Structure 1
Amino acid sequence: MLIQMLRRDFRRKKSISIALFIFISISALLVASGSNMLMELTQSLNALFKQSKAPHFVQMHAGELNEAEVQKFASAHDLVEDYQVAAMVNVDGSHLYLKQDGESEEQSVMDHYFVMQNESFDLLLDTGNKPVRVERGEIAVPVYYKQQSNVSIGDTIKLSDGAFEREWTVAGYVRDAQMNASIVHSKRFVLHPSDWAALSQRTGEMEYLIEFRLKDQGMLQQFRSDYQAASMPSKGPSVDESLFKALNALTDGILAAVIILVSLLLSLVAILCLRYTLIAAMEEDYREIGIMKAIGIRPKTIKNMYLLKYSALAVLAAIIGYAASWGVNALFTSNMELYLGSAPRSLPLLAVPLIASALVCAIVIGCCKLTLRAFDRVSAVEALRAGTLGEARSSGKAPALHRSRWMPVPVFLGMRDVLSRFKMYRLLLVVFIISTCIMIVPVNLLNTFKSPSFNTYMGIERSDLRIDMQYSEQVTEEFMRVSQTLTNDADVERFSPIFASAFQYVNSDGAMEEMAVETGDFSLFPLEYAQGRAPVEENEIALSYLNGKDMGKKVGDRIRLHVDGTEKEMTVTGIYQDVTNGGRTAKAVLPFLPDQVIRYEVSVDLKEGVPVRDKMEQYAKSFYPAKVTDLEGYLSQTLGNTIHQLRLLTAVAVIVAILIAILITALFLQMAVAKDAAQIAIMRSIGFSLPAIRIQYVTRALLVLGIGILFGTIVSNTAGQSLAGLILSFIGASSIKFVINPVQAYAGLPLVLMAAVAVTTLLSIASIKKTTITEWNAG
């Protein structure tokens, strides 16, 4: 009898069993792929940093450098294992030609540094993760330009500034542990030592990387404090290994996190899907179960037969999903392999995805066991008498039919059924909430990354144009000339000059440390503050997220800052997000001290109708060597790869969410129709037409879906937003507010989901027969 029941179950539910199998397989595939991606990311990063011997602490410096001073400091410091000073030639983008169409890199947001291969550490690697070696007349370009500009081996790279011209042949690509990521605005090109020597004497500005490897990385913060307290060269940001890793992992880390989130949501849906299937099977077999109990078959034996079927299905689905993940892993890890290289094969890399898939399988089987406990409550007498589980009793709280005069009867009955039997519909509601989240969270995250306002999370004011002037001997004079030109330009609506200077402050231990502080009017182009507000008084200061975290400061705390030889007590008024300059900056309204300025920035808004592109080209020529940036182009160049990856994932997520809604709706309606067989027969007997009955079911599904979309949107914009902030907090952007497209999020996607559920409902209930109560009792 048991075997016949299971055979009949398979024959009746082939489509459902296949759909459930596919669903668990996809869940196992995604969780295996996501965990594989995280493992590959971790191991590839570790391998890259090990092969390159990445520095633990780096101080960028522009201007004259006393190397003997650095050597003396390094030799005397107990924590220093090794050190080096790497010289770089900063070449203006307007003089560099990477593309074969003759267009320069004038509009590039990147700083182009030409270097020689380091000999001790901070090695620049090729695509085989071996130190790059080039011959005279050859050049190795960052992998960023292979992806962004399609630079190929054998192409010609030209440098021409009018007085000096040189061409090199591309001989390879560079993986750079420090400057790999597109979000890092500096890129290093490797030349032969003789070519570099000729270049450094003829063109460009000289800058330096003062790099250290430490004996104990746990003492990094102490070493940073000692370096700054010793008044060492510091005209530029300081960065460390942890930030290098965070920036390298940003794009693929976000993708892996979203994939795992979707896979976990899918696992939850798979569990609910299985629950629906089991309840529907128990509904249809309720009389047979009662008979088996009546003749003495133990409940455990009956449960084990059902458990055997779904356990076998879950195990096989998990195995197929895990095996299929090896076929799609290349799709998810192609970007990682380009920038970081392939992870070395290891036991954890193989075991973790397998364990993740097994965990999905175990969770599904565990849920199956919990659901099958309902057999213990089955009474043989009640089953033979009633023929149903009897779970769908009315709560008695639903409105009576005679109170609705403005609503069609079928619609009213459908809504009334949801209210009176809400316990039965709550699982369907949870699935619709999850489906909405799977759609909306990736869509909102993608729109946030694409929005120009995302610049404010990167520490960059939102404006039409941004002008950057790095430190040089004439930078103050250049800044004055730029300010005067902008003041007299009738096309300029407003502009705000900002200058960054190095100031010392007293840390919690009473020692002196150095901090880059930006000064200016922060009200014209405000940032998004995670906490508090911008400084407006001379005794106020705002800190970047990472700076505040390192210093242990929050809004309302005080900092003792040394300004022009005088100690000032500053109150922290705000914490803002910043991923530029190592993520460690501050903002204050302080006096203009030209001798301490590291760099100048000017944000510019143009009057309505003024072409931004034309003005950018004009300023680029007039303000040379300043870098003039169109912020939309800035976003594309720094986050274009991340946006592309998110766009693909978002499309997959939307499709998966719709398929989830379709599948669960079909499964639920099968259970509901089985449960309501007697009620349907009664309605047919008293004159209800089949279309009227079907409208009731469509109303039920769409009402639950509407509530699910409402709550799903709320969850997406709260918990989903917090999750995005958690991921980005590692690089300095801790408090993200989703940029929401109302038409897309509140109309387009919900309407698509409603249409899919409505069509599925109509197809699922098309099998309702013209059965009367007499015929049902006879059956």
Structure 2
Amino acid sequence: MNWLIVKSDFRRNKIINLALFLFIMLSASLAVLSVVMALQTFASISELYKTAQPPHFIQMHKGKINQEEIDKFMSTYQGITYKQTITMIDVYGESLTVEGKGHTYNLSDCLLDIGLVKQNETKDLFLNSKHEKVTINKGEMGIPVLLKEMYGMEIGDHVILTSNGARSEFIIKEFILDSAMNSTVASSTRILLSNKDFEELEGQVGENEYLIEAYFENPKEAADFQTAYENAGLPQDGQAVTYTIIFMLSALTDIVTVFVLLLVSILLIIVSFICVKFTIMAALEEEIGEIGTMKAIGLKFTHIRDFYLDKYRVLALAGVISGYILALLISGLFTKHISTTFGNMKMSPLAFVLSISASGLVFFLTDYYCKKILKKIKKVTVVDALVSGKGVDKNKGYIKDGLYKSKKLSVNWLMAIYEVFYTFKNWIIMFAVVLIAVSMIMIPVNLLNTFEAPEFITYMGSSLEDILIEVENGENLENSYAKVKQVLEKDADIKNYYEYRKVRVKTTNKDKKPMNLYIDCGGNAGNELQYISGKAPEGRNEVAISYLNASEMGKTVGDTIALLFDNKDQKFVVSGVYQDVTSGGKTAKSKYNFPELNANKYSFSINLNDNREAVKKSGEWYKILGAGITVDPMEKFIDQTLGGVAKQLKTIVFAIVTIGLSLTMLITVLFLKLRLAKDLSEIAVLKAIGFSEQDIKKQYMIKIGFVSAAGILSGIILTDVLGEEIVAAALSIAGIGLKKVELISNAVIEYIICPLLLMLLILLVTWIVVRTVKKYNIISTINE
């Protein structure tokens, strides 16, 4: 009999049941997708690393090296299982020209450091999309997928290398997976050549750079090894990177995507419960007479409940199964970046198991919530249901009509606003849905806007200026520094500029183990950064440290740090803790210039009189300054560094906005059906005393509009207040050097476009639904 009732209800309420089915399906689908993406990201990286064997420690070095000294040090360091030194030929983007089908371009706008390498024997391998070791023949080239995504290169395109008067031409044979340098945040990328081509070009083009690599039984040993290596005075004119940083930089883009999907799926499940409540309450109100009859003939509460519960169980089960299948079918769209970056990989067994568990969780939560709502049937008496006609919600408070105040507002406006104001709990569901929808849309939109904004440079350990110049490590460091200073001091287009020198100072971590602290020092060091606590350094003995350094050292604002230089420990006070995603998130800032120490690097941040000339001026300086010095407009630097994250996030945000708007319209339909069912007698009375159908429609438009406006306003406030806390919590867990992010919002989108679009859609749906009041018959309704 239960099954017959379920079938009958499905036929009678096709639209509502279909809407509820679709909604549960969408909730389950997003929950499954977030689980699949999270697991596939880490599983794919782990699978790639298993074959490619990226190093646990890399020290990049430009200049001459003494391989015997390096080997001697590593052979005496306990815990090293393998070591190798790789030679890489550094070339510049303008030296590489690509000739494709109908288009020719060079890589002069590429901010990544490009190195030519040959295939390694057993570790730090370059693989294809099937995780197979790539073999390159003479005249062929393996291009990293990073450059393929940036420029749209194709297999068979010709790449022409021109450098130092030499010219070589290659054909792109394969797009390679580089386990150590597969993110724009890494700032470097490698192109694979055949052994023969590499040997012919070495010494003829570019400049040699060495990758000194070490492997350990436990990758966590790399941090201690880095300190020992640097203190031994071995080659270190370049960036040092550990396994943990390589992994996090690789996963950064997909971690952000998983976070957004997970956030939306949680919000969607919450709204799914609201949707279920709408439907159940509407059904109970419409069928209160039948419920009274069943109670009158002696049916138990559990039997009556099961008539309704079975229907929602069927809907939930069908929705969850369909959502799971849908998620598997479209997962390729969401995991495309993972497949491209880390290779094609089938879904892992763990992903299948946990995604099924996520679907099951949605089903059991929905079932539990349905049972909780259906308990309201217990409170319904036979007299309430069959005599007085009261539904499951008996509490109908007295409403002041306020008609005596109708001097400026019309009767329709006063009646509508007073009903919402004095019985707001009847409208709280609609208010909550709009609030959640606004937050669900605006938090991801603001996160995307933050990653794309020039101000994000303050999370990368630098202040916001027009142009960034960096003098690379190497034998010509001081000469290059002097050359930059000479150019900047003579240029009349410069408004002002700040210079910084990076030095390495010895100190200890919270376990009293030795560690090296890299400090950017200069007159503007630490200014305009994003501080979690404290402020920029001011005095000679003050230093600001990054969040990850503060965690490793166990220091907070006001603590003292002992820095060893000039053959003695000197005390510095921590003035502030800031956020930085560069250099593995471990940096420091000080106004003191540390003249006792040699510089590891120089950088300049420049403001122009006319910032619109940044691109043109950086191009001029690049030609003058030459090799070994990078000159980038700040906006371009941020765009290329975080472009991959923003591109992936943009696709997800578009889908979320579409879901959010559709969700709002769907809930509006369900809510209005519930309200109209509950207000049937009131509508009949209004018609009987002379209110026209247009008056009644107008009142409902005003009610929904008033509640929606309150929900939109509250959603904007909630986004501004809690949005940053939610994002910060996720980024802090990710361990990329960020703990607190100030979301940068677009005022036009947040305060004008989003509210207006939501309001227009809600009012449009309301107008369509309330047209059904013309079908209400006064006499039959009053008789009932």
TM-score by length of 2: 0.95
Choose 133-142 or 1-10, whichever is displaced more: 1-10
Contact 2:546 2:588 in 1 (8 A): yes
Change (3 A) 1:637 1:242: same
Q: Which residues of 2 match residues 317-716 of structure 1 at below 5 A? A: 317-389=319-391, 391=393, 393-396=395-398, 400-522=402-524, 526-591=528-593, 593=595, 596-608=598-610, 611-625=613-627, 626-716=629-719
> Is the CA contact 2:525–2:589 (under 8 Å) kept in the aligned structure 1?
no
Pair 1:345–1:325, CA change in 2 (3 A): closer
- Counterpart residue number, 1:751: 756
In structure 2, C-alpha distance between the alignment counterparts of 1:631 and 1:610, rounded to whole Å: 12
Structure-2 change in CA distance of 1:296 and 1:392 (3 Å):
closer
CA deviations on 1:570-612 (whole Å, 9 max, x unpaired) are 1111222222222221111233549621221111111127622
> What's the CA shift for 1:723?
2.8
SS across alignment from 1:83: strand
Structure 2: distance between partners of 1:239 and 1:48: 18
Per-residue CA deviations over 1:712-732 (Å, capped at 9, x if unaligned) read 222223333223223434222
Distance of 1:530 and 1:500 partners within structure 2: 23
Distance 1:510 1:768, change over 3 A: closer
Pairwise mapping of residues 148-187 of structure 1 onto structure 2 (< 5 A)?
Answer: 148-187=150-189
Alignment-derived partner of residue 747 in structure 2:
742
What CA distance in whole angstroms lies between the structure 2 residues aligned with 1:711 and 1:236?
Answer: 50
Q: Deviations over 1:214-267 (max 9, x none)?
A: 123344444344334444433333222222111111112211221222122212
Which one of 249, 252, 255 corresponds to residue 250 of structure 1? 252
Amino acid across the alignment from 2:251: A
Secondary structure of the corresponding residue to residue 718 of structure 2? helix
Any idea what SS the aligned residue of 2:545 has? strand
After superposition, the Cα gap between the structure-2 partners of 1:495 and 1:66, relative to the gap in structure 1 and judged at 3 Å, is same
Is the contact between residue 90 and residue 206 of structure 1 (CA under 8 Å) also seen in structure 2?
yes
Please give the root-mean-square deviation of Cα atoms over the aligned residues, in Å.
2.2
Counterpart in the other structure of 1:769:
774
| Partner-residue secondary structure (3-state), 1:579 | coil
Measured against aligned partners, the alpha-carbon deviations of 1:433-491 in whole angstroms (never above 9, x if no partner) come to 11111111121111111111112212233222111110122221221121122122111
Counterparts of 2:585 and 2:293, CA distance in 1:
71
For the Cα contact (< 8 Å) 2:40–2:347, is it kept in 1? no
Q: Name the counterpart of 1:50.
A: 50
AA partner of residue 520 (structure 1): G
Aligned position for 1:303: 305
Amino acid at match of 2:436: I
2:214 is matched with which residue? 212
Q: Which position in structure 1 is the counterpart of 2:10?
A: 10
* Distance apart, 1:53 and its partner CA: 1.2
Alignment correspondent of 2:724:
721
Question: What is the percent sequence identity of the aligned residues?
Answer: 32
CA distance 1:2–1:215, change in 2 (3 Å) = closer
Cα distance in structure 2, aligned partners of 1:550 and 1:526:
24
Tell me which amino acid in the other structure corresponds to 2:294: M
Stretch moving more, 419-428 or 466-475: 419-428
Moved more, 106-115 or 152-161: 152-161
Q: Which has the higher mean CA deviation after the structures are superposed, 213-222 or 394-403?
A: 394-403
Cα distance in 2, alignment partners of residues 14 and 193 from structure 1? 68
Alpha-carbon distance change, 728 to 26 in structure 1, aligned in 2, over 3 angstroms: same
Count of aligned positions: 779
Label 1:99 to 1:548 Cα distance change in 2 as closer, same or farther (>3 A).
farther
Deviations 1:337-380 (A, max 9, x none): 01101234432122222221121122111111111111111111
Kindly provide the amino acid, as one letter, of the partner of residue 18 in structure 1.
L
SS of 2:136's partner is coil
Q: 1:424 to 1:681 in 2, by over 3 A?
A: same
Is the aligned partner of 1:760 residue 2:765?
yes
Alpha-carbon distance in structure 2 between the residues aligned to 1:496 and 1:113: 30
Q: Deviation digits for residues 529-557 of structure 1, max 9, x if unmatched?
A: 23322222221111122222222222222
1:23 and 2:26 correspond: no
Closer, same or farther: CA 296–586 of 1 in aligned 2, 3 Å = same
The code of the aligned residue for 1:763 comes to I
CA spacing shift, 1:399–1:498, aligned 2, 3 Å: farther
Equivalent of residue 139 in structure 2, options 125, 137, 140: 137
- Rounded to whole Å, the distance in 2 between the matches of 1:609 and 1:251 is 30
State the 1:390 CA deviation: 5.8
Q: In the alignment, what sits opposite 1:269?
A: 271
What letter is aligned with 1:106? S
Letter paired with 2:63: G
Amino acid across the alignment from 1:686: I
CA contact (8 A) 1:459 1:580 kept: yes
CA contact (8 A) 1:238 1:582 kept: no
SS of alignment partner, residue 169 of structure 2: strand
The amino acid across from 2:746 in the alignment is: N
How far off its partner does 1:281 sit? 0.5
Whole-angstrom CA distance in 2 between matches of 1:236 and 1:399:
76
- Kindly indicate whether the alpha-carbon contact (under 8 Å) linking 1:61 and 1:235 is maintained by their aligned counterparts in 2: yes
Q: C-alpha distance in 2, partners of 1:207/1:556?
A: 41
The separation in 2 between residues aligned to 1:511 and 1:337, in whole angstroms, is 40
Q: Residue type matched to 1:683 in 2? A: L
**Distance in structure 1 (CA, Å) of the matches to 2:338 and 2:189:** 18
Q: Distance in 2 between matches of 1:91 and 1:580?
A: 23
| 21-30 or 89-98, larger mean C-alpha shift | 89-98
CA deviation after TM superposition for structure 1 residue 753, in Å: 0.5
Distance 1:448 1:508 in 2: 33
C-alpha displacement at 1:752, in angstroms?
0.7
Deviation at 1:501, TM superposition (A): 1.7
Instruction: Provide the C-alpha distance between the structure 2 equivalents of 1:271 and 1:147, rounded to a whole number of angstroms.
Output: 41
1:238 corresponds to: 240
What letter corresponds to residue 623 of structure 1 in structure 2? L
The amino acid of 1:20's aligned partner reads L
Decide whether aligned partners of structure 1 residues 464 and 399 sit closer, same or farther in structure 2, where only a CA change above 3 A counts: farther
- Does the 8 A contact of 1:280 with 1:670 survive in 2? yes
8 Å CA contact 1:557, 1:571 repeated in 2? yes
Unmatched tracts of structure 2, length 5 or more: none
- Counterpart Cα distance in 1 of 2:494 and 2:317: 66
Question: How far did residue 142 of structure 1 move?
Answer: 0.9
Cα distance, 1:326–1:4 mapped onto 2, change above 3 Å: closer
Distance verdict in 2 for CA 1:396–1:73, change over 3 Å:
farther
Moved more, 489-498 or 204-213: 204-213
CA distance in 2, matches of 1:610, 1:644: 25
Moved more, 112-121 or 56-65: 56-65
Per-residue deviation, residues 274-327 of structure 1 (Å, max 9, x unmatched): 111111110011111111101111121111111111101110111111111222
Q: Structure 1 residues 176, 772: closer, same or farther in 2, change over 3 A?
A: closer
Residues in 2 aligned to 1:399 and 1:776: alpha-carbon distance in whole angstroms: 23
* SS of aligned partner of 1:448: helix
Report the CA distance between 1:525 and its aligned residue: 6.6
